[in-house]
Amino acid sequence: SPPAAVSQVTVRDALNQALDEELERDERVFLLGEEVAQYDGAYKISRGLWKKYGDKRVIDTPISEMGFAGIAVGAAMVWLRPVCEFMTFNFSMQAIDQVINSAAKTCYMSAGSIAVPIVFRGPNGASAGVAAQHSQCFAAWYGHCPGLKVVSPWSAEDAKGLLKASIRDDNPVVMLENELLYGVPFEMSEQAQSKEFVIPIGKAKIERQGTHVTLVSHSRSVGHCMEAAAVLSKEGVECEVINLRTIRPMDIETVEASVVKTNHLVTVEGGWPQFGVGAEICARIMEGPAFNYLDAPAVRVTGADVPMPYAKILEDNCIPQVKDIVFAVKKALNI
């Protein structure tokens, strides 16, 4: 049989494709947020959707996160399927009461009688040159809260498959995208471009097979891990790179199986170190069956423990770079 067609698709176009397909598939789906309609989205994720679906399905909101997140949560409680875009997840702090107290806890508190099928999505973590109030990673914040599902895509395939799965899920899902990935093209298979392509929430993906050390990461840091793995491969060190895809529920089984194979673990994330995603992975590995297979302590690579500075050189030093990952791997392997 001929090889399946593979084409280059940016993360932006993958997200746009997913929204378009789900708006078309289910009339209960609608998108709301600042600038999502007539302006085609602040990041052009919703390009063309307002023209195609109109005012009822793609809704521009005032600059009032608490208001429009609350409207969206109420709509979800009566079985519409809102996609609520935050211009950056830093601004979701305005609406954290709605996300946590109204969306996340309602199914449990109603003994399962009220579902809240809503997606909160938008850029998360550091972009470039936007300082502390636009650069925080909220994976650990939202990953902390039962009642939410939290996904964090890297590639175009991740973005499309996870957004479609999130919209179809009957629970509140927080989808943490990365602005710096929007314009990045990835190879996307014919299968991934089909209308029925979804990626199951809660399943990690091994992006690169390796035998010496396990690198676990999510979002943009997966790309850095792939680059570090290529550098280390030239020195005879083979890294297994795991793309978490989902922060909650976390696929610890895939990480455990890899650690059993490689006997070494390095976690990589753009977020802060204290109570971070890497801290959780290390704790879970320590508590589980893979701990006895570790030949050295796990090493965390994280963002610096400071609010993000504005100056470019300081910003670069606050975000994990490829060289930091290479250094951490050599530390873990004692070479």
Would you identify the CATH topology of the domain 205-333?
Answer: Rossmann fold (3.40.50)
pLDDT of residue 6: 84
Q: Using an 8 Å Cβ cutoff, are 150 and 247 in contact?
A: yes
Residue 312's CB is within 10 A of a number of other CB atoms, namely 10
Tell me the average pLDDT of the chain.
97
pLDDT digits (tens, 9 = 90+) for 208-266: 999 999 999 999 999 999 999 999 999 999 999 999 999 999 999 999 999 999 999 99
pLDDT digits (tens, 9 = 90+) for 276-308: 999 999 999 999 999 999 999 999 999 999 999
pLDDT of residue 225: 98
Q: Which helix (H) or strand (E) holds 31?
A: strand 29-33
DSSP type of residue 103: I
- For the annotated catalytic residues, the residue numbers are 65, 134
pLDDT at 2 over 90: no
Q: Using an 8 Å Cβ cutoff, are 10 and 44 in contact?
A: no
If we measure between CA atoms, which residue out of 276, 225, 277 comes closest to residue 246? 277
If we measure between CA atoms, which residue out of 35, 38, 30 comes closest to residue 91? 35
Q: Using an 8 Å Cβ cutoff, are 204 and 254 in contact?
A: yes
pLDDT at 3 over 90: no
**3-state DSSP call for residue 6?**
strand
pTM: 0.96
Distances in whole angstroms, Cα of residue 102 to Cα of each of 73, 120, 198, 217: 7, 13, 27, 30
Phi and psi based region of residue 44 (left: phi greater than 0; alpha: psi -120 to 50; beta: remaining)? left
pLDDT digits (tens, 9 = 90+) for 72-97: 999 999 999 999 999 999 999 999 99
Topology match between the domains 8-193 and 205-333: yes
How many whole angstroms separate alpha carbon 283 and alpha carbon 8? 38
Q: How confident is the model at residue 272 (pLDDT cuts 50, 70, 90)?
A: very high
pLDDT of residue 256: 98
What per-residue string of b and e applies to 135-157 under the rule 16 or more CB within 10 Å gives b?
bbbbbbbbbebebbbbbbbbbbb
Report, in angstroms and rounded to the nearest whole number, the Rg of the chain calculated over CA atoms.
20
**Which CATH number is 8-193 given?**
3.40.50.970
How many whole angstroms separate alpha carbon 45 and alpha carbon 230? 31
pLDDT of residue 4: 66
pLDDT at 45 over 80: yes
Stretch 117-143: mean pLDDT, rounded?
A: 97
Residue 159's CB is within 10 A of a number of other CB atoms, namely 32
pLDDT of residue 5: 75
Stretch 112-117: mean pLDDT, rounded?
A: 97
Q: Where are the domains of the chain?
A: 8-193, 205-333
pLDDT at 331 over 70: yes
**3-state DSSP call for residue 256?**
helix
